[in-house]
Amino acid sequence: MSTTTKPTILILCTGNSCRSHLGEGFLRAALDDAANVQSAGSKPAGYVHPLAIKVMAEVGIDISAHRSKPLTEFLEQPVHTVITVCGNADQACPIFPGQLNRHHWPFFDPAKATGSDEEILQCFRNVRDEMRRVFEAYAAGLKDALKSR
């Protein structure tokens, strides 16, 4: 499938440091080359959270090369599907050119977890596992839909 025909799926959260990168990692892994999967933030933090990178590595997905970027990078290009993973991003989300679908799947922000280092790490793992179930199920449905085109 050529780059021009691949649908762009944009995953948004406020800081683009944790949840959106977890979702991007799972969708990229599940969809292979079937879609252009990206993530962005309404107020990007400027970094990908080290614990997000760590917990994704635990399940064999490397997001260490991801970068935190603003959603404005995508306003001039067609975006097929927008998935917001936090309430703030859902409220701040503009309509993108060519947008056909929008989903809002809110997840707890593990960057706000408190407690011991182990408790915070466990929170990241819990959010990762919850997001994995949702994003892998979505990817399976999308792959079926793309096959039937």
Q: Determine whether 80 is exposed, middle or buried from the number of CB atoms within 10 Å of its CB (0-12, 13-18, 19+).
A: middle
Which residue of the set 9, 10, 61, 86 is catalytic? 86
Which residue of the set 31, 37, 85, 93 is catalytic? 93
Strand spans (E) along 1-149: 8-13, 36-41, 81-84, 101-104
In angstroms, rounded to a whole number, what is the distance separating the alpha carbons of residues 100 and 30?
21
Find tokens 């079937």 and name the residue. Answer: 34
93 is catalytic: yes
Which residue of the set 9, 10, 12, 13 is catalytic? 13
Residues annotated as catalytic (active site), given as ranges: 13, 86, 93
